[in-house]
Every structure is written in C-alpha cells, then in structure tokens.
Amino acid sequence: MPTFISPQPDDERFMRLALDACRAGVMQGQTPFGACIVRGGEVIESTHNHVWLTIDPTAHAEVHCIRHACQKLNTIDLTGATIYSTTEPCPMCFSAIHWSRIERIVYGANIADAQSFGFNELIVTNEQLIELGKLSMQLTPGFMRDEAIELFKLWQQRGGQTY
Amino acid sequence: MPTFISPQPDDERFMRLALDACRAGVMQGQTPFGACIVRGGEVIESTHNHVWLTIDPTAHAEVHCIRHACQKLNTIDLTGATIYSTTEPCPMCFSAIHWSRIERIVYGANIADAQSFGFNELIVTNEQLIELGKLSMQLTPGFMRDEAIELFKLWQQRGGQTY
C-alpha cells in the first residue's frame, strides 16, 4: 500500500514552480505538464515537457527534470527528494522516479484527466504501481489539481497538439 | 491479454545486434542491456544502456534507443516498429515503447533475471502492463535469453556496478 502524506507547508510553493514551468511550456507550444524536484527545501530543477521541442517521446516533464537534476548534481541517486508534478506521473515517469530513488510524489491532475484531454495514456496509476512493485513511495495526490486542469484548458485554447 | 507472437525469421539477426550493442556497452563499463529498433526490415537504431556514461538514470537501452531513433527520423511516432531488448523492458522502458507507438517487443532475459543480478527493479512485467492498460502490444518473450544472461555474467566478472 502506498503511504499517503497530507500536504506539507512548502508544497504550494514548490507546486507553483511546477505550474509556472508548465505554463511557460504551453506558451512555447509544449504540452501542459510541469515538474519540480526538491531536496532538503532546495529546488534542484523545475521544467516542462519537452516532447515536441526535442522530438523525443520520452521527454516528459518528470523524465526531463530527473535527467537535468542528476546532471546538475553529478549523481543518479536523488534519495530524499520530492517531485512535484502538475499531473500524476505516467508509468514511464513513475518508473524513472523509482530508478532515481526520489521518495515522494506530489501531483495535481490525474492520468485519467490527461486522457480526457486526448493524450494516449497508459492508464496504470501510481497507486497500482506502488502496490504491484511493493514500493515504499509516498504519495500526495490531487494537490492543486484545479490549477493543473486550467493549464490543460489554456493549452487546448492555444491549439495544442496531443500525442 | 497480450498477443504472444512466435519468433519470426529475422528475429535472431536483430536480437544479435542488440546483444552486440549490449556487449560493447559492458566493455565500456555500462550495465548489460542492449536494444535495437527495426521497422520494415530496416534497423533504425541499436544501442546499449548509457546510465553511467551520461549520469542519467533514465538512459536505459530502450529509452536511449527510442530517443535516437526518433531524432533520426524526426518523428515521435514509431508505429509499425519492433524493439529487440536483451532484457524485458522495465516499466519505464515499456511505457516509453507505448508512447512511441512501437508495436512489438522481443526480449531475452526477464525483469526477475535482472533483479537476481542486483538491479533495483520495479517488478511489474510487460504482460501485467499490457493487461492493466488494455493494450494491443505484441510480445515475444524469452528469445535468446541464455545469451542475454551470459552478458550479465560478463558484466559481473568485470566488476560492473549495479543501481
């Protein structure tokens, strides 16, 4: 069973960085996903989805954020870190989080929300993956979900392209 | 339910490219994983795991192979392609395969084999993900598994570092 953690005092500040990155991505024609990685109260990296920008279907916000955080710190081990995702990490991103040993996930919208906006989601939730993999990951789901969904709407109004 | 496909005439040739890439990676101090992407009988890309080389926990053989294949072809859509993986794609790689619309996976060793060599695997099989996600992916599991396992042993003899 996942460990559900209620929102912590700084969560809003860090999720806002993920939402800001997401909005900046949307304004550049990217899909409406942002992420921010924090450890010990310090922001390591905050970024948006880069799939269209880099012609790379793996460049989701979380994967991109993990890559850059690891390169900054010169390690593949982010033990003790938390990731803030504007939308629940897809199974690719969730597994990247597992491999990098990030210990807590705070997310806004969920995978089914992303699907409802037309994305070809593989609908396997973080909760299911934690249970199947017998992981000790901590989850704070649905945090600032309305703001994440507003950014899906902004992306849609701007004629954003799904995949 | 996944569609299980028996080995096809060219599978050995393409899996051998993945095994060759894997071996080349091991000789450079990388972990023992290789992948090859083929479409219409043409090899698009063949490569090995780059996690240690690029300090990127997401640079598994399959993810690295998809990224480079997409950049070569200038598209995020690999519909019609097959991926040959020396080891069953982990859930990160499986989901990257899903996002890139690769339609068939041929693999050698399985995730539990990789775990037995010390990797911190998230044990959720391709079959489970196909069922949970109601996907139509085609699978050819356990193909040339012994040769893949030989490369784990070679990596181990060379003092390979796990993660």
Average pLDDT, 10 consecutive residues per value, chain B (163 residues): 92 98 98 98 98 98 98 98 98 98 98 96 96 96 98 97 94
Instruction: Considering the candidates A42, A45, A62, A88, report the single residue annotated as catalytic.
Output: A62
Contact B77, B100 (CB under 8 A): yes
- Chain A residues with beta carbon closer than 8 angstroms to that of B90: 95, 99
Catalytically annotated residue among B62, B88, B103, B121: B62
Query: What confidence score (pLDDT) does residue A106 get?
Result: 98
Phi first, then psi: give them for residue B2, nearest 5 degrees.
-70, 155
pLDDT, average across residues A119-146: 97
Query: How confident is the model at residue A85, as a pLDDT?
Result: 98
CB contact under 8 A, A133 and B120: no
Listed in sequence order, the residues at least 6 apart from A15 whose beta carbon sits closer than 8 Å to its beta carbon are A36, A84, A86, A106, A108, A143, A144
Nearest CB among B54, B91, B135 relative to A95 is that of: B91
Answering whether pTM is above 0.95, one says yes
Q: What is the pLDDT of residue B2?
A: 82
Chain A residues touching B71 at Cβ < 8 A: 54-56
Nearest alpha carbon to residue A27 among A157, A155, A163, A162: A155
> What CA–CA distance (Å, rounded) separates A3 from B76?
35
Contact residues on chain B for A54, CB-CB shorter than 8 A? 71
A124 to chain B, any CB pair closer than 8 A? The answer is yes
Q: Are B155 and B102 in contact (CB under 8 A)?
A: no
Chain B residues whose CB is inside 8 A of the A57 CB are: 66, 70, 76, 96, 99-100
Kindly provide the residue ranges of all beta strands, DSSP E only, lying in chain B, ordered along the sequence.
Answer: 3-4, 34-39, 42-48, 82-87, 104-109, 138-140
A147 among known catalytic residues = no
Distance from the B114 Cα atom to the nearest Cα atom in chain A, whole angstroms: 14
- Report pLDDT for A1: 75
